[in-house]
Structure 1
Amino acid sequence: MTEPPVNQNSPIPRTGVVVGNPKPASRTFQAAVHVVEQLTGAAPELAIDLAAFASGLLDWSDPAVAAAVEAVRGLDLVVVASPTYKASYTGLLKVFLDRFPSNGLDSVVAVPLMLGAGPGHQLAPEVFLKPVLAELGALLPTRALYVLDGAHDDPASYEAWLASARTRIASAVSGVSGGA
């Protein structure tokens, strides 16, 4: 059963996903979209699949990347997702996050999400991705989410995290989007 949207009594929050998987339309992308849909009852308004930017991520004058950064800064809720590479998030995601200024995610509620092959890396999003988002000023009202890659399409893989995170995220999003 899908829970009601996070922001029932206020304007619909602007939501998005940023996915740092080098493979376009990856399982990581699908997982990030699923999390937004489960939290809000709707698909994300903005979906950034960093694989599509290729070498533009290394060109600091690339207008498409600059526009993507500004679009993310205008969100109320963003799921930032990566597969687990070498026990951390991808360099692709790091290069994109480096484009944000200090406190560039101020007032954006962020959910760090990582997929991995086994349970041995389940702390990676909490230990590596969440601190970077905090350094950028993102609001992080919940613990990070780790999902086994092979179970990315199993709703049961998300149930416990959603049950504990839904209320905190709803409250944080309501606060940043002007809700009561």
Structure 2
Amino acid sequence: MSSLVVLVGNPRGGSRTHLAAVSAAEALGRRIGHEGPPEVVDLSAIGPHLFTPGPSPILEVALELVAGARVLVVASPTYKATYTGLLKAFLDRLPGGALTATVALPLLVMGAPRHALAVELHLRPVLVELGALVPTPGLALLEAEIPDLDRVLADWTERVAPQVIAAVEKRATA
């Protein structure tokens, strides 16, 4: 597999969302045979470029990296029962069908279990709308689970890795 990319939609740098997303991608990468660390697009660092008129080289590089991913972990904290506006603004910059070669895995970090369906009801549909294949349920990660992140991710990767491998192979032959 060639590229594993993490897209972090938290407006705060160094966030728990960033930690969880990179850790999830690394754990998944080990299970699917990806060598090396994932590439990371952290929107906290490029957020201001989303709202300025005219071209932005840093934004264009980020958009190309995300659109070129074979496997994309898309992570956000849960804000008002959905993903952040920052992530939405970035995804809106991608043209329709930009993720047709991509297998995407949505991940939301949330404070309460009542938001667990947000990953399926809000984040998954936008990824599918952009053409991504989303072969597994999204990961709804409670903030309280972060201290036990290694165990949570071991269970998650065991469940999703076979589906991700199959989906990547399907996309490669399509």
TM-score normalised by structure 2 residue count: 0.89
Give secondary structure in 1 for the equivalent of 2:99: coil
2:28 is aligned to 39
1:157 pairs with 2:152: yes
Counterparts of 1:153 and 1:38 in 2: how far apart (Å)? 16
Q: Contact 2:5/2:38 (CA < 8 Å) preserved in 1?
A: yes
| Counterpart secondary structure, 1:142 | coil
Note the C-alpha offset of 1:150.
Answer: 2.6
Cα contact 1:115–1:148 (8 A) shared by 2: yes
Q: Render the CA deviation track for 1:100-157: whole Å, top value 9, x for unaligned.
A: 0011111100000000011110111110000000000001110111101132242222
Distance 1:43 1:88, change over 3 A: farther
Please say if 1:25 is aligned against 2:14.
yes
Q: Mark the runs of 5 or more structure 2 residues left unpaired by the alignment.
A: none
Q: Which of 167, 171, 176 does residue 166 from structure 2 map onto? A: 171
Task: Between 141-150 and 160-169, report the one with greater CA deviation.
Answer: 160-169
Preserved contact between residue 8 and residue 17 of structure 2 (Cα < 8 Å)? yes
Query: Does structure 2 conserve the Cα–Cα contact (< 8 Å) formed by 1:36 and 1:43?
Result: no
Q: Distance in 2 between matches of 1:37 and 1:106?
A: 23
**Cα offset, 1:162, TM superposition:** 2.3
CA contact (8 A) 1:147 1:158 kept: no
For 1:110, give the aligned amino acid.
Answer: A
Cα distance between partner residues in 2 of 1:43 and 1:28:
21
Task: State the aligned residue count.
Answer: 167
Alignment of 1:1-180 (within 5 A): 12-41=1-30, 42-59=35-52, 61-154=55-148, 155-177=150-172
> Which ranges in structure 1 are unaligned for 5 or more consecutive residues?
1-11
Separation of aligned partners in 2, 1:83 and 1:72 = 19
Pairwise CA distance, 1:45: 3.3
The alpha carbon displacement at 1:35 in A equals 1.2
How high is the sequence identity, in percent, across the aligned residues? 42
Post-superposition offset of 1:173: 1.9
RMSD: 1.6
Shift of 1:175: 3.4
